[in-house]
Amino acid sequence: MGWTFAGPIGALLGFAFGSIVDSTDLEQFNKYHSETTTTGDFVVSLLVLIAAVMKADQRIVRSELDFVKTYLTRSFGQEETIEMLKMLRDMLKQDIPIKEVTAQIRTQMDYSSRLQLMHLLFGLAFADGTISEPEAIQIEQIGIDLGISHSDLVSLKSMFSRNNDWAYSMLGISRNDSNEDIKKKYRQLALKNHPDKVAYLGEEIRQNAQEKFQKIQEAWEQVKKDRGL
């Protein structure tokens, strides 16, 4: 763990985190916390944001909990998932100062990692096949507060909500763009979302990013076919 020990996220962890580290002195962790983003920082940030989204429509549905459990189990194993779900349940009982939380994440986490956070939040929101208006508003505001560009937010949402122009939306382009502009925007998007950008967070998170990257490649192949490139 690193910077999530401090600031608003550290305050949210409270007893939930204390129960995970058992008798370890949290003050000692706080004293020596690192400014470098770790896998633990990413996961805790994700859990806080997940709690904020799940609370947005004032109802917790089974499909959302199943999505979270499946993701965590696949990425971190069953034993760690049990502890993470305990932490999530504790956060769901608290008032989350989302503006302060997103400000802390934006300051400490690089852009590609923040994109990966948003990708997982959209996955959660669409876990039951649709997204409620409160959830959509909350996720959009989180994205804005995290400094995610509008085009990137549209791209991420398009990975889960496909319309007739899903490939264009996913790449952040329009049918009126020139072929050269399309190629340029695709390269920029691929660079920001390349799984190697988040490899420092561990193989589990890199694999999640790889799935996102493959969707971008799928959209690119569709656009190339449509445009005859």
- The CATH number of the domain where 222 resides is what? 1.10.287
Instruction: Please state the domain count of the chain.
Output: 2
Query: Where a domain ends, among 94, 124, 148?
Result: 148
> Exposure pattern of 190-216 as b/e (b: 16+ CB <10 Å)?
eeebbbebbeebbebbbebbbebbebb
142 & 65 share domain: yes
113 & 164 share domain: no
126 & 18 share domain: yes
143 & 155 share domain: no
185 & 138 share domain: no
In tens, the pLDDT along 11-52 reads: 888 755 554 554 444 555 555 456 688 888 998 999 999 999
pTM of the complete model: 0.83
In tens, the pLDDT along 109-148 reads: 999 999 999 998 888 878 777 778 888 899 999 999 999 9
Domain span holding position 73: 1-148
144 & 156 share domain: no
